[in-house]
């Protein structure tokens, strides 16, 4: 059953810095959620391969600790930007990212955070399975009771309602949220094997599982707000090194 009566889907192919991408997500939250009603805005986008994002409450000093735990070799410098949402540290580059902005009038907005995660990630998991993105994997949702708090890197250990491969414990998808005046923003990341694409079959199916999807291209008001936020917040040391 669809969660949203209407889902505006923006496959944003604009080449933006990681700071600009974070700014667009917040601009959507600010500019559109007051008038969404039971609708929602879903945006798919790709972050630069050197992008690193960290949660609102995560100390920036922990990035080197997290980096030392990764198997693959990572060479600085990174483009490090703090997210508006919570969670840990995400090293991007092999993932497809998305954001979901929902107004306070939607019934899901009155639910607890864990329930919102569950609804989104069930739709995400089902779309990945139906499109056979991981043909040799068994994708499951980790119960909130099995989460492992305190991990620095989001993809080191799963937390409640993350999508993971039961066969090897690998985390496939995760996300973080932020409330604002009853509305809320979900920022998600999905590890995709092979070439990253905003127009893959699973993005279409994921959208349809969340609601009655229609194409959307943002708005000039969002772009203006995002430009201001990029300069005043996401490109500033005061924001990115606040902890």
Q: For the chain, which domains are there?
A: 4-240 (3.30.930.10)
The span from the CA of 35 to the CA of 103, in Å, is 7
Beta strands in 24-88 (DSSP E): 40-45, 51-54, 79-82
The span from the CA of 160 to the CA of 144, in Å, is 4
pTM, 2 dp: 0.90
According to DSSP, residue 107 is labeled G
- Three-state secondary structure call for residue 122: helix
- Do the bridges between strand 163-165 and strand 95-102 make them parallel or antiparallel, or are there none, so unpaired? unpaired
Question: Along the 243 residues of the chain, how does pLDDT read in single tens digits?
Answer: 578 989 999 999 999 999 999 999 999 999 999 888 888 999 999 999 889 999 999 988 877 645 444 434 344 456 899 999 999 999 898 999 999 999 999 999 999 999 999 999 999 999 999 999 999 899 999 876 555 544 444 544 567 789 999 998 899 999 999 999 999 999 999 999 988 999 999 999 999 999 999 999 999 999 999 999 999 999 999 999 887
Helices 18-32/220-229 angle, 10° precision = 130
Closest CA to 49 of 94, 98, 89: 94
User: CB-based contacts of 238: which residues, under 8 Å, 6+ apart?
Assistant: none
């Amino acid at each position: 059953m669809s969660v949203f009566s209407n889902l505006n889907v923006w496959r944003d192919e604009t080449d933006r810095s990681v700071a600009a991408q974070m700014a667009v997500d917040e601009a959507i939250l600010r500019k559109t959620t007051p008038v969404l009603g039971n609708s929602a805005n879903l945006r798919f986008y790709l972050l630069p391969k050197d992008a690193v994002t960290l949660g609102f409450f995560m100390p920036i000093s922990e990035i080197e600790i997290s980096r030392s735990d990764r198997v693959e070799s990572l060479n600085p410098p990174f483009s490090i930007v703090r997210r508006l949402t919570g969670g840990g540290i995400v090293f991007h580059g092999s993932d497809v990212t998305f954001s979901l902005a929902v107004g306070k009038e939607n019934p899901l907005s009155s639910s607890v955070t864990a329930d919102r995660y569950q609804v989104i990630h069930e739709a995400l998991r089902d779309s990945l399975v139906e499109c056979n993105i991981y043909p040799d994997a068994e994708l499951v949702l980790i119960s909130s009771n099995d989460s492992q708090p305190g991990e620095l890197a989001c993809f080191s250990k799963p937390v409640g309602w993350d999508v993971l491969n039961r066969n090897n414990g690998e985390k496939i998808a995760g996300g973080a949220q932020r409330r604002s005046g009853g509305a809320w923003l979900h920022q998600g990341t999905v590890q995709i094997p092979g070439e990253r694409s905003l127009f893959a079959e699973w993005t279409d199916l994921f959208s349809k599982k969340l609601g009655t999807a229609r194409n959307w291209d943002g708005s000039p008001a969002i772009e203006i707000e995002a430009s201001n936020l990029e300069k005043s917040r996401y490109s500033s040391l005061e924001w990115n090194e606040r902890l």
